[in-house]
Amino acid sequence: MMIVARTPLRVSFFGGGTDYPEYFRRARGAVLGMAIDKYVYISALRLASILDYRYRVSYSRIETVSDATEIQHPVVRSVLLHYGVTEALDLSIMADLPAKSGLGSSSSFTVGFLNLIAALQKRQITKLDLARQAVFVERELLAENVGVQDQYHAAFGGLNRFDFEGERTRISPIQMSGDCLTAMTGSLFLVYTGITRFASATLDEQMANTNSGAADKDLSHLLKLTDQAVDVLEGNDPERMMTEFGAMLHEGWETKKRLSSKVSNPAIDRLYTAARAAGALGGKLCGAGSGGFLLMLVPPERQAKFHEQLGGHAIVQIGLDTIGSTILTG
């Protein structure tokens, strides 16, 4: 029987950069973001022993190997070996949106794969366990230079604030009225820059600035915006919420660009300016920077103009995922 794990991608609104242990182990870190209704899917089918390979892994390439140590996909190889998976498997990986585009797909994959392996092994696993184990896989087993918010968004789903203090993570769902939530989720669009990149490759300068304290002023400001944004989203006036939230997204993007010279580039800046001119109240580049998707907040009365003026770019409307990583069949 085939087992399928579905795990949401995410958009981060505020606080990105403060979710690195290198920062929050010496200062308070907090982020605000949401899981979106675009997903990474991983299916697993147990293989018969008569085949001449033990593992088949299908993603942008197809691997057929006889031993887990031979698998090239780093997460698949590391998780299978660490969790002692020995049965023969056919694994297939699919996604609604391209990888390396700032939507946390790497962490969504890791969370989903851990959920899938737990289901195969008939182990109970909580959403907190999923997030923590994904952080362990990415930061410890693979030694990747990543933050720790994406894993929590992928595991828990929803619209949340995550606070990071030392070894503790506190999860606080945002309490929005129905009118405000409808206004916001009906106004979020991804605009594809056409550029894909590896997040860790763009972070060297930012992490150097974080470790040296050179980025502390800007990271503190992003943290302040996180605090303010929660109050804005939990207000009762949808029109005021949209105006203030859009302005804060723009302010946060201007601040984020100061974290590293590699966060943006002239082509991204031109596209962002065009999106605002076409009616967006504000926005930001998703993820670490240097490419991927722009997230733009566009109220309904401006959306026709927005689509018309940005017609040469791929535009994807997104909604809220409230479930997090889940097993669809089993």
Query: pTM, whole model, 2 decimals?
Result: 0.93
Average pLDDT over residues 183-199: 86
Fold (topology level) of 3-174+321-329: Ribosomal Protein S5; domain 2 (3.30.230)
Provide the residue ranges of all domains of the chain, joining segments of one domain with +: 3-174+321-329, 178-317
Calculate the dihedral angle through the C-alpha atoms of 35, 114, 101, 99, rounding to the nearest 10 degrees: -130
pLDDT at 40: 98
Residue 261 has pLDDT above 90, yes or no: no
What confidence tier does 23 reach under pLDDT thresholds 50, 70, 90? confident
The CATH architecture one would assign to domain 178-317 is: 2-Layer Sandwich (3.30)
The pLDDT tens digits for 151-177 are 999 999 999 999 998 788 999 999 999
Give the span between the Cα atoms of 328 and 325, in whole angstroms.
Answer: 10
Query: Is the alpha carbon torsion for 176, 174, 200, 27 positive or negative?
Result: positive
Lowest-confidence range among 67-81, 99-113, 235-249, 279-293? Answer: 279-293
Six-digit token string for 123: 């182990």
Token pair 């619209």 is found at 159
- Are 296 and 191 a contacting pair, CB within 8 Å? yes
% of residues, the chain, pLDDT over 70: 94
What confidence tier does 203 reach under pLDDT thresholds 50, 70, 90? low
Which one-letter amino acid corresponds to residue 72?
Q
Calculate the dihedral angle through the C-alpha atoms of 115, 117, 118, 120, rounding to the nearest 10 degrees: 120
Listed in sequence order, the residues at least 6 apart from 287 whose beta carbon sits closer than 8 Å to its beta carbon are: 12, 16, 101, 102, 103, 104, 199, 293
Six-digit token string for 102: 């700032």
pLDDT at 165: 85
Q: In 3D, which of 172, 193, 213, 165 has the Cα closest to residue 287? A: 193
Average pLDDT over residues 19-23: 88
What confidence tier does 181 reach under pLDDT thresholds 50, 70, 90? very high
Q: What is the DSSP letter of 55?
A: E
Residue 269 has pLDDT above 90, yes or no: yes
pLDDT at 319: 97
Give the span between the Cα atoms of 304 and 317, in whole angstroms.
Answer: 13
Beta bridge partners of 60: none
CB-CB neighbours of 58 under 10 Å: 14
**What is the distance of C-alpha 204 from the center of its chain?**
19
Average pLDDT over residues 190-207: 69
The 3-state DSSP class for residue 289 equals: coil
Give the span between the Cα atoms of 55 and 61, in whole angstroms.
Answer: 14
- Of 50-59, 74-83, 221-230, where does the model show the most confidence? 74-83
